[in-house]
């Protein structure tokens, strides 16, 4: 088996890109990612991570109503309910509230079937569709250029969310965010969510670096006293997938926890 780090290092060198250090634990592979490469391709931001035994390819700037995974449950987002049907022998996972007809209607479309079969998901690989992105966990032996192009093709075929933004809503990290759907005691954090609640590790890191010490202290001072209430709100969803507002406030809480540790 090829070494994930060396494969990603060679890919970065060939593309003229930097290989950055990172330390990100991913529950879907139960392995940390130690190296990252970022690039732009086809109007999308693409992140590649070297885990211990696999490489994950993340395609950002996606907008879709679908939320499911192929060949492995999504442990990060609690998508662990297995569909009665399979796709080309591979299990499909989503939430107990999933619209399976909607998912399989998309999967069974001729362009999608051809695209996924061309990708060829192997035994220990998995594909995860999010409302704002796609992530593919793959073996280091796979051609990463081909994987990126396959994900871009899939992204173009995904059914979009209703793009109508209603009064009071805004787009944050590619998701429709309605502050009024937060618990009343957490709505004071709405403006902070709009600025800081990004899931992309590199983008979040860049925002932190560009912020002043005063801005970071103010962020911690406003969010930290509400951490217990944020956790209570998130825990209330149990094993159900989180709505956009919960995912975003979870991103905010994660950032503040990281800042608090680094400032300790």
CA 164 to the chain's CA centroid: 23
What mean pLDDT value characterizes the chain? 88
CA 93 to the chain's CA centroid: 16
- The string over 249-264, giving b where at least 16 C-beta atoms fall within 10 Å of a residue's C-beta and e elsewhere, is bbbbbebbeebeeeee
- pLDDT over 70 at 12, yes or no: yes
Give CA separation, 259 vs 197, 206, 229, 249, 251, in Å.
13, 13, 19, 15, 12
- pLDDT over 70 at 127, yes or no: yes
Under the banding of pLDDT at 50, 70 and 90, the label for residue 221 is very high
Give this prediction's pTM. 0.77
Distance of alpha carbon 20 from alpha carbon 6, whole angstroms = 13
In terms of Cα–Cα distance, which of 92, 50, 37, 87 is closest to 68?
A: 92
Distance of alpha carbon 111 from alpha carbon 22, whole angstroms = 36
Neighbouring-strand partners of residue 37: 48
Mean pLDDT, range 50-73, rounded to an integer: 92
pLDDT value at position 165? 66
- pLDDT over 60 at 91, yes or no: yes
Torsion, Cα 43 130 193 237, to 10 degrees, reads 180
Range with the largest mean pLDDT of 32-41, 206-215, 232-241? 32-41
Contacts 24+ apart (CB under 8 A), 182-187: 182/233, 182/245, 182/249, 183/229, 183/233, 185/226, 185/229, 186/226, 186/229, 186/230, 186/233, 186/249
In terms of Cα–Cα distance, which of 55, 38, 56 is closest to 47?
A: 38
Least confident of 137-146, 188-197, 214-223, 231-240: 231-240
In terms of Cα–Cα distance, which of 235, 148, 221, 155 is closest to 188?
A: 221
Mean pLDDT, range 199-218, rounded to an integer: 82
pLDDT value at position 79? 83
**Domain boundaries defined on the chain:** 4-157, 170-263
Torsion, Cα 117 123 128 133, to 10 degrees, reads -70
Give CA separation, 82 vs 50, 69, 97, 100, 102, in Å.
28, 10, 12, 10, 15
Tokens of 239: 């094993």
Residue with tokens 């059914």: 159
Give CA separation, 92 vs 68, 69, 100, 199, in Å.
7, 6, 10, 24
In the chain the first and final C-alpha atoms are separated, in Å, by 41
Overall residue count recorded for the chain in this entry: 264
């Amino acid at each position: 088996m090829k070494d994930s780090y060396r494969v990603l290092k060679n890919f970065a060198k060939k593309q003229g890109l930097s290989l950055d250090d990172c330390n990100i634990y991913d529950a879907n592979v139960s392995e940390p990612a130690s190296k990252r490469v970022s690039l732009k391709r086809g109007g999308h931001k693409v992140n590649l991570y070297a885990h211990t035994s696999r490489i994950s390819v993340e395609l950002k700037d996606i907008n879709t109503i679908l939320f499911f995974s192929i060949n492995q449950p999504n442990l990060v987002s609690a998508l662990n309910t297995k569909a009665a049907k399979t796709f080309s022998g591979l299990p499909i996972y989503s939430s107990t509230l999933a619209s399976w007809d909607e998912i399989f209607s998309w999967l069974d479309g001729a362009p999608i079937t051809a695209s996924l079969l061309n990708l060829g998901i192997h035994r220990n690989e998995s594909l995860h569709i999010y409302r704002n992105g796609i992530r593919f966990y793959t073996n280091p032996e796979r051609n990463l250029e081909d994987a990126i192009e396959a994900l871009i093709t899939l992204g173009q075929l995904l059914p979009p969310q209703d793009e109508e933004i209603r009064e009071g809503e805004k787009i944050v990290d590619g998701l429709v965010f309605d502050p009024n759907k937060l618990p009343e005691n957490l709505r004071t954090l709405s403006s902070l969510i709009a600025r800081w609640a990004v899931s992309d590790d590199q983008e979040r890191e860049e925002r932190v670096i560009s912020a002043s010490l005063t801005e970071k202290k103010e962020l911690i001072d406003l969010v930290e006293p509400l951490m217990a209430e944020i956790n209570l709100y998130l825990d209330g969803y149990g094993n159900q997938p989180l709505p956009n507002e919960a995912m975003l406030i979870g991103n905010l809480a994660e950032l503040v926890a990281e800042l608090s540790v680094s400032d300790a």
